[in-house]
Amino acid sequence: MPYEAWKDNEYIESLVKELQESGANVVVGSLDKLINWGRSNSLWPLTFATSCCGIEFVSLGAARYDMARFGWEVARSSPRQADFIMVAGTIVNRMAPVVRRLYDQLAEPKYVIACGACAVSGGPFKKSYHVVMGVDQIIPVDVYLPGCPPRPEAMIYSIMQLSRKIKVERFFGGVNRQQKQADFLKEHPIEGVED
């Protein structure tokens, strides 16, 4: 995809800038690049869907949209084997502990895409008594994808955006993303569980 076609370059650029502020070692920097190249090109999703968006995710896997082109087709049913979780659909109060547990079970490095209006903010169910208004209340989110449901093209875009984000991540020495994640989890502890 050409550079101009991306929608929020400023965000990724500020991320790169932030990472490069302290400078990078030639060896470590090159190794980082290699590792990130590998990671960003074989993202394995978790088969997880609660409602409508999940069906568009099925379409994404079929021949027409064919996510195998990008190396994402290995949808895993166990969180222990998956790289990212695409929260496709509404998350309700009863489901919240389950989503959190699934997230905790993902092996590092792990990523989250909030897919669809419900996962982003509660969407059409804003007035409900039993809906979590945005999945970012319970797990840290990397990419927000609006739409009700988002088209498969939009889903492709969001996962590509995620792999772009991974490409600028720092594996050795850097704290950037992992630190943020740790901070989030510290702010949102699971009640009743002692570390």
Partner 1 sequence: MANIQETIAKLLPEATFEEGDILMVNVPDAKWHNLAKELKENKDLSFDFLVTIVGMDWTETLGCIYYLTSTKHNTHLSVKVTTDNREKPMLHSVSDLWKIAGIFEREVYDFFGIVFIGNPDMRRLFLSIDWKGYPLRKDYDESADLNPVTTESERQSDFTDTYVETPDGTVEKKEVRVFAPEDFVVNIGPQHPATHGVLRFRTAVDGEIIKKIDVYMGYIHRGIEKICEKLTYPQTLHFMDRLDYFSAHPYHHCLCMTIEQAAGIEISRRAQVIRVLMDELSRIASHCLFIGTYCMDLGATTMLFYTLRVREQILDIMEKTCGARMTFNYECIGGVMQDLHPDFVKDVKALLEVLPKNIKEYNKIFTGNVIAKNRMEGVGYLSHEDAINWSVTGPSGRASGWACDVRKTDPYSIYSELDFEQVVREEGDSMARFKVRMSEMEQSAKIISQLIDNIPDGEYCVKVPKVLKLPVGRWFRTVEGCRGTFGIYLESNGDTKPYRLKIAPPCLPAASVVDHITRGSKIADLITIGGSLDYIVPDMDR
Contact between 191 and partner 1 per CB under 8 A: yes
One-letter identity of residue 57: F
Q: How far is the CB of 21 from partner 1 (least distance, A)?
A: 34
Contact between 129 and partner 1 per CB under 8 A: yes
Short-list 111, 101, 113, CA closest to 54? 113
Q: How far apart are CA 38 and CA 185, in angstroms?
A: 27
**How many CA atoms lie within 13 Å of 5's alpha carbon, on the beta-carbon side?**
5
Contact between 173 and partner 1 per CB under 8 A: no
Residues 75-114 that bind partner 1 (CB under 8 A): 77, 89-90, 92-98, 100-102
Q: Which is nearer to partner 1, 7 or 127 (CB)?
A: 127
* Exposure class string for 69-92: b at 16+ Cβ within 10 A, else e: eeebeebeeebeebbbbbbbbbbb
Q: How far is the CB of 13 from partner 1 (least distance, A)?
A: 33
One-letter identity of residue 50: T
The contact set with partner 1 (CB under 8 A) reads 47-52, 54-56, 58-59, 62-64, 77, 89-90, 92-98, 100-102, 124-125, 127-132, 137-138, 148-149, 151, 188, 190-193
